[in-house]
Amino acid sequence: MAAFLIVMPTMKTAAWEKRIRAAQPDIDLRVWPEVGDPEEIVFALTWRHPHGTFKRFPNLKCIASMGAGVDNILSDPDLPAGVPITRIVDSSLAQSMTEYVVMAVLNYCRNARFFRDREAEGVWKPVIPKLAANEKVGILGLGQLGSDAARKLQTLGFTVAGWRRSQQPMAGVETFCGLSQFQAFLAATRILVNMLPLTAETRNILNRDTFTHLPPGAYLVNVARGEHLVEEDLLEAIAAGQLSGACLDVFRTEPLSQEHPFWAHPGITVTPHIASLTNPAAVIPHIMENYRRVLAGREAAHKVDCDRGY
């Protein structure tokens, strides 16, 4: 017996179950916490699993993240050693994320919030927009998602730079590598977009020191993880005029508490972690392909490098 287990305690799983059964009608599909015999579990599809879950399955051959990020999986101190971890790489995820990033950047350049507030007051108050040709966007992380956003922002006429770990040229995008080039990257960035994975190196990377190296009045977009951002440092930087504002999709604690100062802040736009939601219809073919590979003893696609953390 080889069973496929869904472990997504924070989500409704009915749509996933239906599509997985449609893709493979003879599948032995189980949904946590109704695990059955733990020895039969060979493949786990997961999002925000309770830590310690996977160590119970001695024959587990693959842990598949339901999203692009794997930080919650890797932060489990009881992860079974040697079980491959995979993540989602799909053009629909990149397309959705790019739409959000383009929206956030254009809302900033076109003063969308200012005009929404004037509209509510019935006040006619022209303000000159910032034009793409004069704006420099710096993207932290030029991976699957960051590189797609970089290309499309470039098409709109923005000057785009990126920061990554490895030296990989990208046409028309000035690329900065590693900590030695971090400050030079920040100095050339007017709109900072964070698309990094959450790792030991990147946790709290959006902090006071980072903001100090941006040109005064720079704008922040965070679509990666809440733990990248030191929230008090953002509030201080906006109060000091070092940053002009921020658009945030992710938060240290989600949902954002009712009392959180970000909600009412006039310079901060809040969205509830919706920049790029995984679309089951688009990604189930990839997941089922990996399930079949695992059953056949072959290597799964889009494996995460656990030492690197992404």
Per rule CB under 6 A, is residue 86 in the interface with ligand NAP? no
Among 250, 268, 284, 294, binds ligand NAP (CB under 6 A): 250
Longest dimension (CA), the chain: 69
User: Nearest distance from residue 263's CB to ligand NAP, in Å?
Assistant: 18
Determine contact, residues 161/139, Cβ cutoff 8 Å. Answer: yes
> In this complex, which beta carbon is closest to ligand NAP, that of residue 166 or of residue 258?
166
- Could you tell me how many residues of this chain bind ligand NAP (CB under 6 A)? 31
Element (H, E) at 29: strand 28-31
Q: Which residue in the shown chain puts its C-beta closest to ligand NAP?
A: 143
**Which part of the chain contacts ligand NAP (CB under 6 A), choosing from 7-15, 130-138, 197-205, 287-295?**
197-205
**Measured CA angle at 249 (ends 243, 255), to 5 deg:** 120
Convert residues 95-114 into a mask of x (bound to ligand NAP by CB under 6 A) and - (unbound): --x-----------------
**Which part of the chain contacts ligand NAP (CB under 6 A), choosing from 6-14, 16-24, 102-110, 193-201?**
193-201
**Measured CA angle at 89 (ends 84, 93), to 5 deg:** 140
Per rule CB under 6 A, is residue 202 in the interface with ligand NAP? yes
Sequential DSSP letters for 190-253: SEEEE-----TTTTT-BSHHHHHTSPTTEEEEE-S-GGGB-HHHHHHHHHTTSEEEEEES--SS
Across-strand partners of 220?
A: 192, 246
Backbone angles phi, psi at 38, to 5 degrees: -60, -25
Per rule CB under 6 A, is residue 197 in the interface with ligand NAP? yes
Per rule CB under 6 A, is residue 226 in the interface with ligand NAP? no
287 token code pair: 């997941």
User: Nearest distance from residue 4's CB to ligand NAP, in Å?
Assistant: 23
> In this complex, which beta carbon is closest to ligand NAP, that of residue 42 or of residue 276?
276
Closest CA to 209 of 180, 183, 188, 231: 183
299 token code pair: 């290597």
Active site residues: 225, 273
> In this complex, which beta carbon is closest to ligand NAP, that of residue 141 or of residue 245?
141
Note the residues at the interface with ligand NAP (CB under 6 A): 67-69, 93, 97, 141-146, 163-166, 195-199, 201-202, 223-225, 249-250, 273, 275-276, 310
